[in-house]
Structure 1
C-alpha cells in the first residue's frame, strides 16, 4: 500500500508541501499544465528551484503574481492568514525573515524573478469569496478526485474562519487565502497527491511555533487563530522556536489529507522529498520532509 508520510519537524505551509512533493519526484511541468485548467494562469507564473537549508538540499516552490505584483511567496506564505487583512505585507512577525536568496540558484525554473521585492504591494486585488473559489474549482477541467480534495481543504479553512468571525461558511470572504498563490498551493497539492497515486497519507504531530505575529487585527499569538481552529483534534508538538512554523493553508492541507497522525510508520522507503520554507533558523533546517514508500 503506497503511503506518504509528512514529517513536519519544522511545521508545514502550502509552498513547503508543493516543494516537498516535487522534490520527492512529482512532475512540476504536469502540475503547471493541470493548474492552467483553473483559467487564472494570466495572473501568475510558477517557479521552483533547489536551495540549501542548513545543509539540506531542498526544493523551493514559488508563485509569482503578474498583475502589477512582482512576487508573493517570498515571505514564507506567512501572509496566508485568512484574518480578513489586506495583504499589506506588514510581515513583522518577530521572525528573522532572513530570506535564503544567497542559495544556489543554478537549477532555477523561474521567469523574471529577481528577488528585488517591494513589500509595499497592496495585494488588495484577487480576493475571492468561498463561493468564488468553489466555482473556480468546480468549473475547471480537473478530475473529480482533485476537485473534491481541493474543496475539502478550502472548506477546512472556510469553516475555521466562519467560526472565528461568527458567520456561516457561505458568507466567508477569503482575503489572503483567496489570493492566487494560496489557490495554487491548495489545488496544486491536490493535483500532486493524486498524480503520485498515494493510497494512504500519514503525518507527524504538528509543531506550530511560538511568539507573536502581526496581522491587520493587531498582534496575535502563534499559532494564529485560524491555524489553531483548523488543527483542533490533531496532535500539536511543543517547540521553543520563535516564529510561525505552520500556516493556515499548511494546516488545512494536512488536516484534510492525513488519514492518521502518528510516529514514523514502518515503510519500505521509495522516495524522499524536502520542501523549503523561506525563513532560516539557526538550529535546524526549515524544510518539510515527505517520505513515500510501501507499507505492508
Structure 2
C-alpha cells in the first residue's frame, strides 16, 4: 500500500500540497488535463523550481484572470464535482475534503451544510488546490495518507470575515483530533484548505515509521518566513508493516427501508470511513435485520456515529478497538491485450485488475465487464 507522509513542520496549505505532489513527479500537463472536466475557466497554472532557506522544492500558483471571485455554496461545488467526468477516486477524495471544510464552517457559523458558502475556499484557486491534490494522489498511486502534527500558529490573519485569530475558527475546528505543536513563529502556518486535506485524508498521525522511503518532495509556500523554511515535505514510500489500530462500529437495524442503507453507506464512506459492510442477520423474536459494520479511525468516531444516528433508525451503537492487517500493494500500469491498464500488484505476487480501469475498457469497447476481468486476469495471473 503506497503511503504518503505529510511532514508539516512549517505548516500546510493547499498550494503547498499540490506543489509537493508536483515535486514528487506529478506533471503539470497531467494536472491541467485532470482539471479539464470541471466547468471552471479564467485561470492558468504555473509551477517552477524554487528554494526556501537554500532547500530546493517546487512552487505552484493559480493565476486568475479576475481577482474578484464569486462566493460559492458547498452544495454547488459538491454537485459539480459529483456530476463531472473526474475519476471516482478523485471525486471521493475531493468530496471528502470539501465535506470536512463545510462541516467546520457550518459549526462555526451555526448554519446547515447546504447553506454554507465559501469565501476564500470557494474561489477557483482553492477549488484547484483541493481537486488538484486528489488528482496528484491518484496519479502517484497513493493509497494511504499519514501526517505529522500541525503547528498551531499565533497572531492574527486577515479574512473575508475581518481580522481573526490564528488559527482561524474553521481551521481550529478542523484541527480537532489532530496532534498540534506549539507556535513556531507569528503568522498563519496552517490554512483551512491545508487543515481540511489532513483532516479528511490522513489515516494516522505522528512521526514517520513503518515504511521504506522511496521519494521525497518539497512544496513551497508563497511566504518566506525568517525562522524556518516555508516548505511542506512529502515523503512517499511503501509500508514495511501493514498493521494499524482501528475502531469497529456495529449496530443492528430491523426497521429501516432497504434503499436507505445505500445512502447511509455513501455518507459514511464520504466522511472518511475506511470500510462499510452490510450483512443480513436474525434477531430476537426471529425478526430479520441488517448488521451495519464500519471500520474507522479513532479520530472519526464522533463524526461517523453522528451520521449513523442522523441518517438511520439505529438507537444504539457498539464500538471496540481492533487491528487490521493489509497485504502491501502498489498500482502499476501494464500492457494488456486491451491496451495499457492500471492494476494492483499485491505483496504476495497476485495481480488484481482495477475496477475503474476494467469498467472504462468495457464501456469503451462494448464488451462485458466480466470478459475484461477474464482477459486481464489471465494476462497478469
* Structures share fold, TM-score greater than 0.5: yes
1: CA distance, partners of 2:45 / 2:30: 12
How far the C-alpha of 1:161 sits from its partner, in A, is 0.5
SS for the counterpart of 1:274 is strand
Counterpart residue number, 1:44: 43
How far the C-alpha of 1:216 sits from its partner, in A, is 4.1
1: CA distance, partners of 2:160 / 2:130: 23
By relative contact order (CA 8 Å, sep 6+), the higher-ranking structure is: 1
How far the C-alpha of 1:5 sits from its partner, in A, is 0.4
Pairing partner for 2:186 from 223, 234, 242:
242
State TM-score, norm by structure 1: 0.79
1: CA distance, partners of 2:147 / 2:88: 24
Q: 1:292 to 1:240 in 2, by over 3 A?
A: closer
Structure 2, unmatched stretches of 5+, are 241-381
Structure 1, unmatched stretches of 5+, are 70-122
SS for the counterpart of 2:177 is coil
Pairing partner for 1:133 from 77, 84, 90:
77
Q: How does 1:29-68 map to 2 (within 5 A)?
A: 29-40=29-40, 42-66=41-65, 68=66
2: CA distance, partners of 1:284 / 1:174: 31
Q: How does 1:115-126 map to 2 (within 5 A)?
A: 123=68, 125-126=69-70
Q: How does 1:97-112 map to 2 (within 5 A)?
A: none
Pairing partner for 2:115 from 158, 167, 171:
171
Find out whether 1:204 has 2:204 as its counterpart.
Answer: no
SS for the counterpart of 1:190 is helix
2: CA distance, partners of 1:16 / 1:240: 18
| Alpha-carbon contact 1:126-1:180 (below 8 Å) kept | no
After alignment, is 207-216 or 187-196 more displaced? 207-216
Superposed structure 1 runs of 4+ greater than 2 Å apart: 214-219
Counterpart residue number, 2:159: 215
2: CA distance, partners of 1:128 / 1:220: 21
After alignment, is 22-31 or 9-18 more displaced? 22-31
1: CA distance, partners of 2:183 / 2:236: 26
Counterpart residue number, 2:225: 281
How far the C-alpha of 1:37 sits from its partner, in A, is 0.9
Counterpart residue number, 1:3: 3
How far the C-alpha of 1:43 sits from its partner, in A, is 1.7
Number of matched pairs: 240
SS for the counterpart of 1:281 is coil
How far the C-alpha of 1:178 sits from its partner, in A, is 0.8
2: CA distance, partners of 1:35 / 1:152: 17
Pairing partner for 1:144 from 88, 91, 96:
88
Counterpart residue number, 1:114: none
Larger radius of gyration between Structure 1 and Structure 2: 2
Pairing partner for 2:200 from 256, 264, 285:
256
Higher strand share: 2
How far the C-alpha of 1:268 sits from its partner, in A, is 1.8
